[in-house]
Structure 1
Amino acid sequence: MTIKRLLAALVSAAMVFSLTACGGGNDGGSADSGAQGGGDSGAAADGGSSGGASGTVHLWASGSDNVRQIFETLTESFNAQSEDVKVELNFMLAGTGTQTMVDMLAAAYKANQTNTDYDLIDLGGDDLSKIVSLIGEEAFIELDKSKIPNSASVEAKSAVGEKIIMPYRGTTVVLAYNSENVPTPPATMDELVEWMKANPGRFAYNVPGTGGAGDSFVRTAVYNFIDDPEAMMSDDEKWAEQWDAGFEFLASIHPYMYQSGGSITYPNKNQGALDLLSNKEIDMCPMWADMLLSQRAAGTVPECMKMATITPSFTGSVQGLSIPNFGSNPEGAYKFIDYILSPEAQELLVKEMAAIPLVDTSDMDLTGFEDLQDLDVSNFRVLSIGSLDTLFNERWDNEIGAIG
Structure 2
Amino acid sequence: MKNSVKILCVLLVVSALLMGCASNGAEDGKKTVTIWSYGSDNVKTTFEKLANAFNKSEHGKKYQMKVEFISSGSNAQSLLDRTIAAKKAGKKNTDYDLIEVSDAELAAYQSEGGDDFFQKLDTSKMPNAKNVKAKLSTGQDILMPYRGTTVVLAYDSAKVSNPPKTADELYQWIKDHKGKFAYNSPSTGGAGGSFVTTSVYNQLPEAALVSSDEKWSKEWTPGFKLLKALHPYFYQSGGKTVYPNKNQGTLDLLANQQIEMTPAWVDQVVNEINSGILPKSIKMVQMDPAFTGNLASLAIPKIGGNKDGAYAVMDFMISKEAQTILLDEMGAFPVIDSSDIKSDNTKMISKFDVSTFRTSSIGVLGQELLKKWDEEIATLK
**Which residue of structure 1 lines up, in the alignment, with residue 325 of structure 2?**
348
1:245 to partner: Cα distance:
1.8
Tell me: higher relative CO, structure 1 or 2? Use CA pairs within 8 A at least 6 residues apart. 1
1:125-178 deviation per Cα after TM superposition (whole angstroms, max 9, x unaligned) = 312344345434411122343443433433445352222222223332211111
1:246-283 deviation per Cα after TM superposition (whole angstroms, max 9, x unaligned) = 11221222222233455433233323332332333322
Question: Which among 147, 154, 167 is matched to residue 189 of structure 1?
Answer: 167
Amino acid paired to 2:349: L
**Which residue of structure 1 lines up, in the alignment, with residue 176 of structure 2?**
198
**Which residue of structure 1 lines up, in the alignment, with residue 260 of structure 2?**
283
**Which residue of structure 2 lines up, in the alignment, with residue 241 of structure 1?**
218
Higher mean displacement: 113-122 or 205-214: 113-122
1:235 to partner: Cα distance:
0.8
1:42-100 deviation per Cα after TM superposition (whole angstroms, max 9, x unaligned) = xxxxxxxxxx75236141234x6654453344235445765752422313438x86986
Amino acid paired to 2:288: T
The 3 A distance-change label for structure 1 pair 79 and 271 is: farther
Question: Which among 121, 143, 149 is matched to residue 121 of structure 2?
Answer: 143
Amino acid paired to 1:286: P
1:166–1:321 CA contact under 8 A, matched in 2: yes
1:172–1:380 CA contact under 8 A, matched in 2: yes
Question: Which among 53, 63, 74 is matched to residue 50 of structure 2?
Answer: 74
Structure 2: gaps (5+ residues): 1-28
Distance 2:236 2:41 in 1: 25
Matched, 1:403 2:380: yes
**Which residue of structure 2 lines up, in the alignment, with residue 49 of structure 1?**
none
Question: Which among 309, 317, 322 is matched to residue 299 of structure 2?
Answer: 322
Higher mean displacement: 350-359 or 79-88: 79-88
1:363 to partner: Cα distance:
4.7
Distance 1:100 1:259 in 2: 37
1:200–1:258 CA contact under 8 A, matched in 2: yes
Distance 1:345 1:185 in 2: 33
After superposition, residues 4-403 of structure 1 pair within 5 angstroms as 54-55=31-32, 57-62=34-39, 67-78=43-54, 82=60, 85-93=64-72, 101-102=79-80, 104-158=82-136, 160-226=138-204, 228-260=205-237, 263-316=240-293, 318-359=295-336, 363-376=340-353, 380-403=357-380
Structure 1: gaps (5+ residues): 1-51
Higher mean displacement: 287-296 or 132-141: 132-141
Amino acid paired to 2:163: P
The 3 A distance-change label for structure 1 pair 156 and 74 is: same
**What percentage of aligned pairs have identical amino acids?**
44
Q: Secondary structure at the match of 2:199?
A: helix
Higher mean displacement: 240-249 or 185-194: 185-194
**Which residue of structure 1 lines up, in the alignment, with residue 11 of structure 2?**
none
The 3 A distance-change label for structure 1 pair 296 and 120 is: same
**Which residue of structure 2 lines up, in the alignment, with residue 21 of structure 1?**
none
1:119 to partner: Cα distance:
3.1
1:201–1:258 CA contact under 8 A, matched in 2: yes
Higher mean displacement: 254-263 or 347-356: 254-263
In our comparison, the structure showing a higher alpha carbon Rg is 2
TM-score (norm 2): 0.79
2:154–2:261 CA contact under 8 A, matched in 1: yes
The 3 A distance-change label for structure 1 pair 221 and 159 is: closer
The 3 A distance-change label for structure 1 pair 201 and 237 is: same
Distance 1:393 1:100 in 2: 22
1:206–1:268 CA contact under 8 A, matched in 2: yes
The 3 A distance-change label for structure 1 pair 196 and 154 is: closer
1:61–1:123 CA contact under 8 A, matched in 2: no
TM-score (norm 1): 0.75
Superposed CA RMSD in Å reads 3.1
1:170–1:356 CA contact under 8 A, matched in 2: yes
Q: Secondary structure at the match of 1:162?
A: coil
Q: Secondary structure at the match of 1:357?
A: coil
Distance 1:130 1:331 in 2: 25
